[in-house]
Amino acid sequence: MKKIVVVSNTAWSIYNFRLNLMDVLSRKGYQVLALAPEDEFAKKIPFEYHHISINNKGTNPIEDIILFFKFLYFYKKQKPSLILNYTIKPNVYSTFASQILKIPCINNITGLGSTFTKTTGISTVTRLLYRISAPFASQIFFQNKDDYSLFQALKIVSKKRVDVIPGSGVDTNKYKPVKRDNEEKFIFLLFARLLWEKGVGEYIEAAKNIQQRYNNLEFQILGFLDVANPSAITKNEIDDWVNRGVIKYLGSTCDVRYFIARADCIVLPSYYREGIPKSLLEAASMEKPIITTNNIGCKEVVDDGINGFLCNIKDPNDLTEKIERMVNLPEEERINMGKKGRRKILRKFDEKIVIEKYLDSIKKILEPINKGFDYDVDK
């Protein structure tokens, strides 16, 4: 049985974004392993799981060299036929290790965050590492055309073995419309990792602005507090907003569907360089209108005025205006926005499209190996 390893920088991301692909691969006859730092979601992964320590924000070169050798040791021991890498450090250091052992790998550029938007020594080194490692990947998937174009402009990748997929896709059978109970209040919901770059601050300012004019609105926030991230919203900040009546904090959950179903509109004013936000795909799949920024990754999901509104980046006043427009839309028009969003998801972002892309690439990559050209880990 051929073995495929799925690698990411958190067990949380494997659990939330990769399980359906892993399930399909398992049903196709592959042995599937997960490799990621252990967190509370590791025990929920229904496949063989292995821990590897990855400091996602770390910039210590010695630490990264050690990470490379950890990948090398693990792959030499496990002898996989293929490696699927997600997020920056696996895309770089796991690819280096796979190249030494002549193991093919598929890399997924899940979003560039602040790495490529800032001109710093760290961003320069990261681009260099991508430029060195990228040619060793058997296939590279980008989640939006802007990231692909940037990598081409920086001469990190060529057109060979590169493709653009619709983000991580969304399970449209799981995230489907649910009839909303009549609520006394009009509910806006932001659900995401609670980082400033996700536009939480702009959401708070817009909520303050518009609550002065309306008394029937509720602004909710759902998401875990990523305390290890220097850009994380703190619990004290959340508590302060709650105590002042600006927002209602819902905590965190493994299943967001109940909260999406109760909301009238989903808001994500992100200025993070997203791949394609899974939260927007899930919301649109459940027929919710969306307000998000005219930002890379976000704008792919929303056609302005069709299935939601786009607002300016880092502009709470423009966000306030879009929220007010949503509140004042006739109910039938708002419902039709949601329906159009669902149709767009089915057409362009269904998870089946992503899985088929992977299956096709895996078949092409492993076919020569199946004919007897397997690698030798001892070479």
Give DSSP secondary structure letters for 186-241.
EEEEEES--BGGGTHHHHHHHHHHHHTT-SSEEEEEE----TTSTTBPPHHHHHHH
DSSP state of 179: P
**pLDDT tens per residue, the chain (379 residues)?**
899 999 999 999 999 999 999 999 999 999 999 999 998 899 999 999 999 999 877 778 899 999 999 999 999 999 999 999 999 999 999 999 999 999 999 999 988 876 666 666 677 888 889 999 999 999 999 999 999 998 998 889 888 889 999 999 999 999 999 988 777 899 999 999 899 999 999 999 999 999 989 989 999 999 988 666 778 899 999 999 999 999 999 998 889 999 999 999 999 999 988 889 999 999 999 999 999 999 999 999 999 999 999 999 999 999 999 999 999 999 999 999 999 999 999 999 999 999 999 999 999 999 765 554 343 333 3
How far apart (Å, rounded) are the C-alpha atoms in residues 177 and 261? 8
Pairwise CA distance, residues 352 & 289, whole Å = 23
Residue 205's CB is within 10 A of a number of other CB atoms, namely: 18
What pLDDT score was predicted for residue 348? 96
Helices (H) and strands (E) in the chain, counts: 14, 13
pLDDT at 160: 82
Give the list of residues 6+ apart from residue 29 with CB closer than 8 angstroms, or none. 1, 2
Contact 28, 359 (CB under 8 A): yes
CA dihedral over 276, 281, 283, 287, signed as positive or negative: positive
pLDDT given at position 376: 38
Select from 3.20.20.150, 3.40.50.2000, 3.20.20.210, 3.40.50.880 the CATH code of 3-169+351-370: 3.40.50.2000
pLDDT for 56 = 77
Residues 6+ apart with CB under 8 A from 120: none
Q: Where are the domains of the chain?
A: 3-169+351-370, 186-349
Coil/strand/helix, residue 257: helix
Contact by Cβ (8 Å): 252, 224: yes
Question: Can you read off the two tokens belonging to residue 308?
Answer: 């939601």
- For residue 225, the Cα-to-chain-centroid distance in whole angstroms is 17
Measured CA to CA, the distance from residue 81 to residue 69 in angstroms comes to 19
CA 346 to chain centre: 18
Residue-level pLDDT at 1? 87
144 — phi, psi (to 5°)?
-155, 160
Strand intervals (E) in 241-300 = 248-249, 265-268, 290-293
The CATH code of the domain at 186-349 is 3.40.50.2000
Q: How far is CA 72 from CA 115, 139, 254, in A?
A: 25, 20, 32
Residue among 262, 80, 275 nearest 179 (CA): 262
One fold for 3-169+351-370 and 186-349:
yes
